[in-house]
Amino acid sequence: GFDAMRASGEIMVDGGRARPFLKGKLDIAALDVNPYLPPETDAAPKAQPAGAPAASAGPGTWSDQPIDLGGLRAADAEFDLTVGQIQVRKIAIGRSVLAAKLTGGRLALDLRELNLYQGSGQGRLVLDGSGAVPAFEHAFRLSKLQAQPFLRDAADFERLSGVTEGEIEFTARGRSQRDMVSALNGKGKLSFRDGAIKGINLGAMVRNVATALDHGGARATQQTDFAELSGSFVIANGQFRNDDLLLQSPLLRLTGTGKSDMPKRTLDYRLDPKLAATAAGQGGAKDAAGISVPVLVQGPWHDLKYRPDVGGAIKEQLKDPGGAVRAIQGVVGGK
């Protein structure tokens, strides 16, 4: 914590203002901010281990506990900080260089250098407690970050691995977590290379959607390796939208579009998997030969349901009736 941290540098204190003003430059060996964060709520259930049935997670809710940033108005400050390591919840951040400016209850952190999970990043974080309603701004750019250990520590989620590149930004304001999610706006794009999705074999799903999705217990040992997984998103007032999901692997191409009502914690997604005619993966052609049976992923976050969209497959393959028949046979008969 702050009380026990080892630091060197200089600090100037000006007590002649309406609020105390601190200014300085510090080199800090290690910083653990957890003692100073609000307690975690049980609003969001932890992700289940790979292969666990989705329904085993409880239906989480957003917290209505008031968010209080009033403590930021106690002083004003400007600091340039170099920190050897930072602990935030379970997230371990390596050497970091940042500038912090606190004015009238508004804290702005300019994260000039972040080293985390074998990658690096830059960003900006604003906590605004200057007004009656707390507000937040986040903007981050990430490069070569390892997804699996980061997601494990950040969200107890271990089903996705890969080398991550991305840019994300969010704004939100509200008196509680529920209010914040309902007012969340943002956009971003992420890509994962040379990774895997644990818990489902998308290649088997294309060959026989019904069997692949009905046997949840078998998902523990299944995974889908990919050369590239990418997509961009926008969020408007808590409504998440993605229209360009793309997964490429040596034997599979998958595109997806969908939306999520974040305040209600529901998902409505359509995946279009297709077996590839080529062994080219990363950087290969987005179009692939072979039959395709769309899959609908719908329901509350804690209990998603998967089902083949046979009607959609028929509509898309009217120009090739034989292909449509083969697709349906694959779904209902396992051929």
Identify the weakest region by mean pLDDT among 7-16, 92-101, 137-146: 7-16
Tokens coding 260: 């999520």
- The residue written with tokens 């969020």 in the block is 235
Strand partners of residue 278: none
Contact 222, 210 (CB under 8 A): no
- pLDDT tens-digit map of 119-168: 999 999 999 999 999 999 999 999 999 999 999 998 888 899 999 999 99
- Separation between Cα atoms, residue 277 and residue 286, nearest integer Å: 11
pLDDT, position 186: 97
Q: What is the mean pLDDT of the chain?
A: 82
Position with higher pLDDT, 226 vs 3: 226
- Separation between Cα atoms, residue 142 and residue 150, nearest integer Å: 12
Entry pTM:
0.79
User: How many residues does the structure list for the chain?
Assistant: 335
Distances, alpha carbon 134 to alpha carbons 75, 174, 178, 269, in Å: 17, 6, 13, 32
- State whether residue 229 is helix, strand or coil: strand
Lay out the sheet containing 91-93: strands in order across: 31-32, 86-88, 91-93
